[in-house]
Amino acid sequence: MPAAWLPARRNGSGSARPKQAKTLRTRLIIGFVGVTAPLVLLLLWNNLYSTSVVRSQVAQSNRSLLTMYLNDMDKVLEEVQNYLFKTAEQNRDLMTLSQNERGGWDYYRAKTQAAADLGANTNYYEAADVLFAYSSRYEDLFLAQQQNVSFERKERIVARLRDVLRAGPGADTPYTGWTLQRLDGSFALLRVVDNGYGSAIGAWVDIGRLMAPLHELGTGGKGFAVLTSGSGEPLTELAAGLRGGLAAGMPGALAEALAGYAIADVPQPHLLVAKDSRMADMRLLLLMPEKSLLEGLPYFRYLTYAVPVLAAVLLGVYLYVLQRAVVMPMYRLIRGMRKIRAGDLSARLPDSRLPEFDTINETFNGMAEQIEHLKIDIYEEKIRTQKAELKHLQAQIQPHFFMNSLNIVYQLAQIRSYDIIQSIALHLVRYFRFTINTGAASVTVSDELEHIRDYLTIQKHRFPESLAFGFEVEPGLESFPLPPLSVQPLVENAMVHGFKASGGGPFRIEVTVRRSPEAEEDAAGGEAAVLIEVRDNGKGIAAGSLGPLLERIHAAEPGERHVGLWNVVRRSRLYYGTAVRLELDNGAEGGLSAVLRLPLHAPSSGQRTAGKERMA
């Protein structure tokens, strides 16, 4: 019995097998990734945003502090510069210094008063290391220095001042604004104001003195402030590593630092804030290590970077658990269903550790067992039905000939032909013995033809001059098995319909048993067949009636006419299967040819019960 209750598997583009992208495992993985990935991305974005906010707020705070200190520095330079302008314009001693003769009393008095004034103002302008006055006419330089300026330092400053003052005013000189001066590896700012009377006044401001308040600018010792020239050269002392890193990482980040803040590698990442001075060609930089600035945020960032790796590990564990707990039980269930669909009703599922799948497996096993029992019951019922049907079909043949036989005996008794009656009685006994033996599943070709010989002999006693018959069997086919009474209805049909229309001459019936030609076997896909032909010389059948007759013979249910021929086909198919065919055709010289085509490889006597099961 085919497992018709299961849907047939489709092939090709319409395959019922689920695609890989639609499997339960794939959808669960997509669901896991769909939930985890947004959370990981949100965590990364939150960390980056927090870092950006901290940088921005710290940069804004330190920019304000940097601006305050730089404004104080510019204010100091501006006050010193204002003092120089005021003194150059209002100090009469400085104005008359170059007007008097050198060595005269007036020159000496003016020089002494100017020096005293410079000395008095050094206490007020502490940022200036040296305040000096200079007579261009006599190249006479006198100055007042701070107390912490050493004698050697003072002499080197004097030597540098003489070189600068002798060069006189010009573009990019101390006469036009504060200019940077390098002396003994350190830097200073120099400003000179000419009073227009051959004299000048100026100030020397050491960069280190200006930077003293900025060493711990807003960094708590974790960062550093740097004063650089407009070209980016550091003006304060730096460690060798910081100086090299500052030169390498500064150019690209400086423009961003002036506008807001930047991250510069010097060599480690530092938050950079910068502002230009309005009094001199220099700028103040504040660098803070990003690591100390963000405190615990970098570690949190590393943790954030580790989250995807952790998620991948969890995904692997999740897939392993999913494979063991869900996917494998599902695949076992699917394989079991496919086996059931293929007809293997012995398929059973093992117990599962999950209660849900254990319930499913128990239900599946119970269903498979019920189907197996049901199929066996249906098979047994089919066999019983087929046996009853076969006996019923055989019984249908007996009354048809029984009445004719009694009629023959009656007619012979009237004419007192006792010898013929004895012969007919003998053939009738053999005939009915063969017919009544319904328990036999099959008979040989020889037995079937002997039975037909008894039938035709009885008929010949009725029509001794009008009937002739003959048999021809291909060697090797005498023992070929076939259902009882498979050929006799064909002979009886020829007698009923052909004998009446025979006209002049005896009516002849030829029964031939042969194997199908090789050409026909090739056309049929290599399947050999046994051809049993019953041919007569009667009138035959009208060409227009052959088609409808064959349809009635091969129909599922018998019609009102030609029940005998339908019985032949039906009983043969119960035994051989659907390969059985009955072909009818008019002969070239008249009469009808009925060919019963049976598979050559018929079931043996030990397989007849199985053959009946296949007839369903």
Which residue segment(s) compose the domain that 228 sits in? 44-294
pLDDT of residue 450: 92
The answer to whether residue 80 sits within a structural domain is yes
DSSP of 451-500: HHHHHHHHHHHHSTTTEEEEEEE-TT-TT-EE-TTSSHHHHHHHHHHHST
Q: Do 290 and 385 belong to one domain?
A: no
Strand 199-206 and strand 481-482: the pairing is unpaired
Burial of 57 (0-12, 13-18, 19+ CB in 10 A): exposed
Q: Do 285 and 402 belong to one domain?
A: no
Mean local confidence (pLDDT), 16-29: 61
Q: Is pLDDT of 58 > 80?
A: no
Q: How confident is the model at residue 605 (pLDDT cuts 50, 70, 90)?
A: very low
Q: Do 95 and 238 belong to one domain?
A: yes
The string of pLDDT tens digits covering residues 537-565 is 888 887 777 778 888 877 766 665 666 78
Q: Encoding tokens for residue 17? A: 């097998």
Alpha helix (H) residue ranges in 280-354: 290-294, 297-322, 328-341
pLDDT of residue 12: 43
The position carrying tokens 């009008």 is: 466
Backbone angles phi, psi at 378, to 5 degrees: -65, -40
Beta bridge partners of 600: none
The answer to whether residue 245 sits within a structural domain is yes
Radius of gyration of the chain (CA): 63
- What span, in angstroms and rounded, lies between the C-alpha atoms of 33 and 45? 18
Q: Do 383 and 262 belong to one domain?
A: no
Q: Specify the higher pLDDT residue, 20 or 440.
A: 440
Q: Specify the higher pLDDT residue, 287 or 297.
A: 287
The answer to whether residue 607 sits within a structural domain is yes
Its pTM stands at: 0.45
Q: Do 418 and 286 belong to one domain?
A: no
The string of pLDDT tens digits covering residues 312-344 is 888 788 778 877 777 788 788 888 888 888 878
The string of pLDDT tens digits covering residues 387-441 is 665 555 555 545 656 676 777 777 778 877 778 788 888 888 888 788 776 567 7
The answer to whether residue 421 sits within a structural domain is yes
Q: Do 139 and 243 belong to one domain?
A: yes
Mean local confidence (pLDDT), 215-229: 65
CATH of the domain at 259: 3.30.450.20
CATH of the domain at 442: 3.30.565.10
Q: How confident is the model at residue 359 (pLDDT cuts 50, 70, 90)?
A: confident
Count of residues in the chain: 616
Q: Could you say which DSSP state residue 345 is in?
A: T
- What span, in angstroms and rounded, lies between the C-alpha atoms of 431 and 495? 17
Q: Is pLDDT of 519 > 70?
A: no
Q: How confident is the model at residue 15 (pLDDT cuts 50, 70, 90)?
A: very low
Strand 467-473 and strand 443-444: the pairing is unpaired
Q: Encoding tokens for residue 590? A: 């008249």
- What span, in angstroms and rounded, lies between the C-alpha atoms of 195 and 197? 6
Q: Specify the higher pLDDT residue, 523 or 104.
A: 104
Close Cβ partners of 10 (under 8 Å, ≥ 6 residues apart):
16
- Give the DSSP H or E segment for 133: strand 130-135
Which of 241, 263, 294 corresponds to the end of one domain? 294
The answer to whether residue 56 sits within a structural domain is yes
What proportion of the chain, given as a percentage, has pLDDT over 70?
Answer: 76
Q: Could you say which DSSP state residue 443 is in?
A: E
The answer to whether residue 486 sits within a structural domain is yes
Q: Do 61 and 207 belong to one domain?
A: yes
Q: What is the mean pLDDT of the chain?
A: 76
The position carrying tokens 């010389």 is: 537
Which of 294, 314, 334 corresponds to the end of one domain? 294
Question: In whole angstroms, how far apart are CA 260 and each of 52, 58, 248?
Answer: 13, 11, 20
Beta bridge partners of 234: 228
Q: Encoding tokens for residue 318? A: 């999740």
pLDDT of residue 606: 40
Q: Do 284 and 405 belong to one domain?
A: no
Q: Could you say which DSSP state residue 10 is in?
A: P
Region at 343 (left for phi over 0; alpha for psi -120 to 50; beta for the rest): left
Residue 301 and residue 47 in contact, taking contact as beta carbons nearer than 8 Å: yes
Question: Which CB contacts under 8 angstroms, 24+ apart, belong to 152-161?
Answer: 153/129, 154/130, 156/183, 156/184, 157/129, 157/130, 157/183, 157/188, 157/204, 161/130, 161/132, 161/134, 161/190, 161/202, 161/204
The answer to whether residue 99 sits within a structural domain is yes
The answer to whether residue 597 sits within a structural domain is yes
Q: Is pLDDT of 180 > 80?
A: yes
Q: Do 176 and 278 belong to one domain?
A: yes
Close Cβ partners of 359 (under 8 Å, ≥ 6 residues apart):
none
pLDDT of residue 73: 86
Beta bridge partners of 419: none
Strand 507-515 and strand 467-473: the pairing is parallel
Helix, strand or coil, per DSSP, at residue 596: strand
Q: Is pLDDT of 482 > 80?
A: yes
Q: Encoding tokens for residue 549? A: 């007759």
Mean local confidence (pLDDT), 581-586: 88
Q: Specify the higher pLDDT residue, 39 or 600.
A: 600
Q: Do 471 and 606 belong to one domain?
A: yes
- List the single range of 72-81, 198-207, 214-223, 240-249 with lowest mean pLDDT: 240-249
Domain count, the chain: 2
Question: In whole angstroms, how far apart are CA 103 and each of 133, 139, 283?
Answer: 17, 14, 45
- What span, in angstroms and rounded, lies between the C-alpha atoms of 59 and 321? 50
Close Cβ partners of 530 (under 8 Å, ≥ 6 residues apart):
477, 480, 513, 514, 515, 516, 597, 598, 599, 600, 602
Q: Is pLDDT of 139 > 60?
A: yes
Which of 240, 269, 294 corresponds to the end of one domain? 294
Close Cβ partners of 123 (under 8 Å, ≥ 6 residues apart):
none
Burial of 356 (0-12, 13-18, 19+ CB in 10 A): exposed
pLDDT of residue 241: 47
Burial of 481 (0-12, 13-18, 19+ CB in 10 A): buried
Q: Specify the higher pLDDT residue, 19 or 355.
A: 355
The position carrying tokens 């029964």 is: 511
